Amino acid sequence: MSPSIEETQEEPQLLTDDGRVPGSRVILAVGGVAVAISAVVIAAFVLFADVPNDPDVACVETPQVCGTLRDYATAWNNRDAGGMLTLMTDRGLQTVLRVASEEELIESFSDLPRTDLIEELRIASVTLDGDTAEVRIQYRRLNQSFDDAYQLVQSDGRWLIDGWDA
């Protein structure tokens, strides 16, 4: 009598004679290469990425400084004279806005067209030196691009705009 099909088929072998999964070295080698390539790609990105131009990165260590400039742009766009005054020193009012009081600021706002907005604000860099900071910003106003440096001073734990280099 000839053997049946069931008797002639061998059970698949799940482990080699020494207890390993067949092909496990190939799987580990391929996996190891993928991990190594991923590590190289990540390292290259970290080393060669243009990180200083990312506004969020420029503000990571100085969120209060950047917040002052963002609040300034918001106050400008809302024609919020009171809000603007809380962000500036007296020197900043005179040098940046060329006014000496809230009344003068309100009057100067009334002369501005509603389309005169600070748009696409980007904080390019922040340089701290003790209680002073220089913040280089780029923005658009009235369809023109600007690249200015603002000087800020720390007063009572707050950063205030004290001047600028247009």
Q: What per-residue confidence (pLDDT) applies to 108?
A: 92
pLDDT of amino acid 44? 45
pLDDT of residue 66: 94
We find that the CATH architecture of domain 52-165 is: Roll (3.10)
Q: Which helix (H) or strand (E) holds 107?
A: helix 102-110
Give the pLDDT of residue 61: 86
Domain ranges within the chain, ordered by starting residue: 8-49, 52-165
pLDDT at 162: 97
Q: In what order do the strands lie in the sheet with 158-165?
A: 119-129, 132-141, 144-155, 158-165
The four Cα atoms 18, 23, 29, 32 give a dihedral, to 10 degrees, of -90
- φ, ψ at 124 (rounded to 5°): -85, -35
> Can you tell me the distance from the alpha carbon of 138 to that of 147, in angstroms, rounded to the nearest whole number?
4
As given in the structure block, the two tokens for residue 91 are 């020197």
Could you say which residues of the chain have pLDDT below 50?
A: 41, 43-53, 55
Cβ neighbors of 155 (< 8 A, separation 6 or more) are 89
Please give the model's pTM, rounded to 2 decimal places.
0.65
CA neighbor of 93 nearest in space, from 80, 103, 84: 84
